Copies of this chain bind each other. A is one copy, B any other.
C-alpha cells in the first residue's frame, strides 16, 4: 500500500493525496450524512492523464476506486464501502471549460466543472445548457452524467443522457477512451457513450464530455393551476402539448399536503388561491422567440381546459417576481418536509397515463395498512416521475416510523412494477436501491448488465458495492440521517 500511495503522490502531488482521517472525512460520507464509509486515501488529480495514472496504479495494486464528483447524490453512490479498501478519486480539480463551439452548438468541458459553471459558459455564448438541479452550484457535470441526472426541464430537453454528444473516459485498466466527438450523426458501431452515462462509475471514470447547447430562452409564461384530480392534470398536459408543442417546458404537480407543508414552514411562501388546491400544477411555457405571445397562448388553453372541467382556478404570473414566487411553492417542498420531520421517500416513474391510477392505488394500499400516514406527493408529472413521500403520522414514534420503511417500499415499488414503472426515476441505485432492484429486474436484464460489467471491469474494481453489485456489504448507515 505504501508503494501505491507513493505512486499517487508522484502523480497528483502530496497536497492532493489525503490520508489523515480529518482530511478524508468529507469524502467518506454523503452530504445528507446517511452513509459512512472508509478509504485508503482520497486522491485529487487535475488532468485526464493524471486520472489515468491513478486508475492504472490502483489496477496494478488491485485496489478499488470510488469516483466522486460534488458528493451531492441521494443514493450513496459516491460513498466508499465500510471495508476501507478503496481509493476515493475526487474529480473536482478537473475544472476546465475546454472549448465552446457556437456554430456547432456544443460545449466541451472537464468532468469536474460544476453544473452552474457549465450553464454559465453556455449563457455567455448566448446559448442554453438546460440541465438544472437544486444542487447545481456544487454538483459536478461528471457526476450528473454518471447518474443521468434529471430535474425540472426533462419534459422539454430530456435527461442528462440526452444532452451528451461525446465522452472521454478512463477505463478500468487505465487506458483513455477519447470519444469527444461533437457530432449529431455518427453511425459507426455501438453507442459506447450511453453505457457510461448512468453507470454510476462502475464501468470507468468520465473525465470530459461534449454537451449539446440549445437556443437561449427569450419568452416565458408561468401559471399555477388548480385541477380537480391527477386525471385532469394529465388531460391538461395533453391539451397543452397539442396546442403549444415542445414549448411546454415544465409541468409539475403538487398535492395539497405538500403545499400545506410549504405554507406552514416556508415564511416567504404565499398561496395564490384562498385555499390550497387539492391538486395544483405549475405550468411553464418557454420559447427562443421574443414577444411570441406565450401568456395569451397559455390563457387560451387554460380557458379551454376550464370549459372541459379540467381546471378549477388558475393564475398566470404577471412578472418575473410572480413567476419566481410560484416556483418557490414547488421548489421548497423538500425543505418543508425536512423541517416537518421524518419522511420515507420514493423516486418513482410510471407512464404518464398511469399516474392517476398509481396515486389512487398507492394511497389506498398504504392507508389500509397504516392509518394516519400522510402522503406527500409531488413532482415531474409531465415525465411520469413522482416524488411519492410518506410523512410520519403525528402520533407515531420516529423509530416505529423508520421501521416500517421496508413495508412501505414494498407496497409502493410492487405497484410501480405492476404499472410498468421504475423504482428509481432520477436518483439512481447507488447503495440505497442496489438490493431492492433485484426484485424488479428480469433475470435476462440482470444477466446482460452483469455481462457488460464483466466485459469492462472483470476484477470488479470500479465503485464496488454500488448499482447492481450486491456481493459486498455497503457503507455503514445512520438511521437518524433519514430525516433529511
**Shortest distance between the CB of A433 and any CB in chain B (Å):** 8
Q: Is the CB of A215 within 8 A of B185?
A: no
A104-B351, A147-B187 in contact; A442/B197 too (CB < 8 A)? no
A185-B154, A384-B104 in contact; A243/B288 too (CB < 8 A)? yes
Q: Is the CB of B184 within 8 A of A289?
A: no
Over the window 267-291 of chain A, the binary record of Cβ atoms lying under 8 Å from chain B Cβ atoms (1 yes, 0 no) is 0000000000000000000011100
**Shortest distance between the CB of A437 and any CB in chain B (Å):** 5
Which residues of B lie under 8 Å from residue A192 when comparing CB positions?
A: 445, 448-449
Instruction: Report the copy number of this chain in the oligomer.
Output: 2
Residue A201 is within 8 A (CB to CB) of chain B in the complex: no
Residue A107 is within 8 A (CB to CB) of chain B in the complex: no
By beta carbon, the residue of chain B nearest A240 is: B215
Q: Is the CB of A287 within 8 A of B197?
A: no
Query: Which residues in window 167-209 of A have CB below 8 A to B?
Result: 171, 175-179, 181-192, 194-195, 197-199, 203
Taking a contact as CB atoms closer than 8 A, the residue among B177, B183, B289 that contacts A421 in the complex is B183
Residue A429 is within 8 A (CB to CB) of chain B in the complex: yes
Q: Is the CB of A178 within 8 A of B442?
A: yes
Instruction: Determine the distance from Cα of A212 to Cα of B246 in the docked complex, in whole angstroms.
Output: 13
A288-B246, A455-B452 in contact; A429/B197 too (CB < 8 A)? no
Report, as a range, how many residues of chain A touch the other chain.
35 or more
Q: Is the CB of B289 within 8 A of A424?
A: no
Residue A385 is within 8 A (CB to CB) of chain B in the complex: yes
By beta carbon, the residue of chain B nearest A197 is: B191
Which residues of B lie under 8 Å from residue A292 when comparing CB positions?
A: 292
**Shortest distance between the CB of A130 and any CB in chain B (Å):** 11
Binding site for B on A (CB under 8 A): 101-106, 126, 147-148, 150, 154-155, 159, 161-162, 171, 175-179, 181-192, 194-195, 197-199, 203, 214-216, 234-235, 237-238, 241-246, 287-289, 292, 297, 349-354, 380, 383-385, 420-429, 433, 437, 440-442, 444-445, 448-449, 451-452, 454-456, 467-468
Chosen A-B contacts, 7 in total, with CB atoms closer than 8 Å, are: A101-B353, A162-B162, A177-B445, A183-B421, A185-B385, A186-B424, A246-B288
The 6 lowest CB-CB distance pairs between A and B, nearest first, are A245-B288, A103-B353, A194-B194, A186-B422, A185-B425, A184-B383
Extra 14 A-B pairs, beta carbons < 8 Å, given A188-B440, A190-B198: A162-B162, A181-B422, A183-B350, A183-B420, A185-B349, A185-B426, A188-B423, A189-B445, A189-B467, A190-B195, A190-B203, A194-B195, A216-B242, A243-B288
